[in-house]
Amino acid sequence: MPKIYRLLTEEDTSAFCHKVSLALSKGWELHGSPAYAFDAASGIMRCAQAVTKDIETEYHPDMKLGQQ
């Protein structure tokens, strides 16, 4: 079964947690640990979390991964 990958990013706020929670509720699975980095240009912390999902169709670069 093919697997797709997304990297979710957001400012370090509850919006990031909601974005990851929404992906998990749609069948995505966490892949690795979250990452945090300081964005010096904007003066904020940013978060990232990789997620993966098994799909039944063949992967195509035109896929809208957020709608999977």
Q: 1 to each of 5, 30, 62, how far by Cα in Å? A: 13, 18, 19
* Residue 60 pLDDT: 77
pLDDT, tens digit (0-9, with 9 covering 90-100), for 18-32: 999 999 999 999 999
**49 and 1 Cβ atoms separated by less than 8 Å:** no
* Residue 57 pLDDT: 84
* pLDDT at 1 > cutoff 90: no
* Residue 64 pLDDT: 84
Q: What SS3 string covers 5-54? A: EEEEEEECCHHHHHHHHHHHHCCCEEEEEEEEEEECCCCEEEEEEEEEEE
Can you give the pTM of this predicted structure? 0.86
pLDDT, tens digit (0-9, with 9 covering 90-100), for 44-53: 999 999 999 9
* pLDDT at 17 > cutoff 80: yes
